[in-house]
Structure 1
Amino acid sequence: MFRSLAVFSLLTITACTAGMIDPPKKSGAQLFDKHCTSCHGRTAQGDGPRASSFAIPPSNLTMIAQRNGGTFPTADVMAQINGYSGRHQMGGMPEFEEVIQSPIVEWTSPMGEVIPTPQALLALATYLESIQE
């Protein structure tokens, strides 16, 4: 009886979790399409419809790794996306705090640190890594 209950509970938890957290690349592409293309463009090259309205043009996000010696700096990218309050008033990227609110997952940094990270933030960074030239 106890074993059946434990198996049922595990299956229920797994089913619920699987439905809540999308595969990072797919959900990251959807987040990018919804929140980033107006500035960075559909190809992420900084040529979105709003790009010309900024004094400093949006970055070409397909060249992040190239600008970083061939390594994609996931932690730095997530820090830039996450940002800080008030930076939009200074002309930088808008605040995405509400957009990235999502279930927390564990991300392991290149230094081996396990960092609780919003799933949406990790998904977006994973997507950007996948489109590097």
Structure 2
Amino acid sequence: MRVVTFGSSVATAAVLTLSACTDDTMMPTRQDGAEFFADHCVACHGPGGRGNGPLANDLPKHPTDLTQLSRDNGGTFPAAQALSYIYGDPKNSHLSRVMPEFGGAMADDLVPVEIDGVLTPTPRELAGLLAFLESIQE
């Protein structure tokens, strides 16, 4: 995941339009993502993201070891898949999942993030969380 600056006026306009989606044009950082993770994810995934949080053994499905997402995806961080899963994909609402969907509460504050070569309006909290998750890959 990375934020991209383009030279063309069309791409620049797209970035400015996406940036206007938020009052705060500062891009979220890995630290912002770490704070979100500490507030919302540690109970199940553990402080290091290994799936060993204090609630992990009480869940019907063991939480994913988030430090191995790149390894399990051929060495590339799966930003699009992680974003879709964390946000909550309405197409998969029929699937049983233990992890809450975070997207509904985040849709009003978007920032431009390049994911798989596509500039994607992404909720600020998720952009920070993706930066954090990518940083803890082993």
User: Which TM bucket (shorter chain)?
Assistant: 0.7 to 0.9
Superposition TM-score, scaled by structure 2 size: 0.73
Gapped regions of structure 1 (runs ≥ 5): 1-15
State the partner residue of 1:109: 115
1:24 aligns with 2:29: yes
State the partner residue of 1:48: 53
Counterpart contact for 1:87–1:93, Cα < 8 Å: no
Change (3 A) 1:126 1:99: farther
Could you say what the CA RMSD is over the residues aligned between the two structures, in angstroms?
Answer: 2.4
- Greater relative contact order structure (CA < 8 Å, 6+ sep): 2
Determine which structure has more spread, i.e. the larger CA radius of gyration.
Answer: 1
Which residue among 82, 91, 94 is the counterpart of 2:100? 94
Gapped regions of structure 2 (runs ≥ 5): 1-22
Task: State the number of aligned residues.
Answer: 116
Q: Deviations over 1:70-99 (max 9, x none)?
A: 110111111110014695982431121355
- Bigger share in helix: 1
Which consecutive segments of 4 or more residues in structure 1 shift more than 6 A?
A: none
Superposition TM-score, scaled by structure 1 size: 0.75
